[in-house]
Structure 1
Amino acid sequence: MSDNSDNKTPGAGGRLALDVLVYTAARIALVVALTAAIYYLGKLIGITEFPLIVALLFAIVLALPLGIWLLAPLRKRATASIAAVDERRRRDREQLQARLRGKESTD
């Protein structure tokens, strides 16, 4: 584990956390924006007692498919970060198992 021959290794976990955090924040912002739009649209068309919880529930339902298309670049970046961390862990695990067997790593 003290072998730092790969320059990307130290920041991979931080990058993953940042990408997932940005994607999650974007999904929450989408729900908030849709909630506000639905709530004020209801008020605009004359519904005087439009419950905010109803607007929120509709926004969640609408945000699920909209998020797939609107947030695709963020989702792909988060998925790529997850794959990079997973690959690093797999490689580290294989190197550890090779050392435990007494074999030298070919990397």
Structure 2
Amino acid sequence: MFMSERDESAIPAQVTTGTRPGARLARNMMFYTVLRLLMVVALTLVIIGIGRLAGVDVPVLVAAILSVVVALPLSMILFTRLRAEINSDISAVDADRRAKREDLRRRMDEA
């Protein structure tokens, strides 16, 4: 089945070029989440290790809570570029959604 010119114009440019903002956003979000979780685990192990060196037995839950508190501002500093990419991807997905919604409204008005 062939597409008319009208149907081809409805396809967003990102889809025709092979880069989908939604897929890129999902990939970047997954990568950012994994990095943050690894940072929390690493900080937890560091806190427990420092406690053992000091002769104190730090409970894992306390070390994990402390590492979450420390990891939040640290990840904002260390992963600035990745967060900027995620924000850009979110903007692209929103723009694509808006364009599709406007196209649908235009088509409904034409019918």
Give the TM-score category using the shorter length. 0.7 to 0.9
Gaps of 5+ in 2: 1-6
Q: CA RMSD in A?
A: 1.8
Runs of 4+ in 1 over 6 A off after TM superposition: none
TM-score, with structure 1 as normaliser: 0.85
How far apart are 1:5 and its partner, in Å? 5.2
Spell out the pairing of 1:58-73 with structure 2 (5 A cutoff): 58-73=66-81
Corresponding residue for residue 28 of structure 1: 37
Corresponding residue for residue 4 of structure 1: 11
Between Structure 1 and Structure 2, the one with more helix by share is 2
TM-score, with structure 2 as normaliser: 0.82
Aligned CA distance change for structure 1 residues 63 and 92 (closer, same or farther; 3 Å): same
Report how many aligned residue pairs link the two structures.
101
Structure 2 residue identity aligned to 1:40: G
Note if contact 2:21-2:92 (Cα within 8 Å) is conserved in structure 1.
Answer: yes
2: distance between equivalents of 1:50 and 1:26?
Answer: 24
Identical aligned residues as a percent: 37
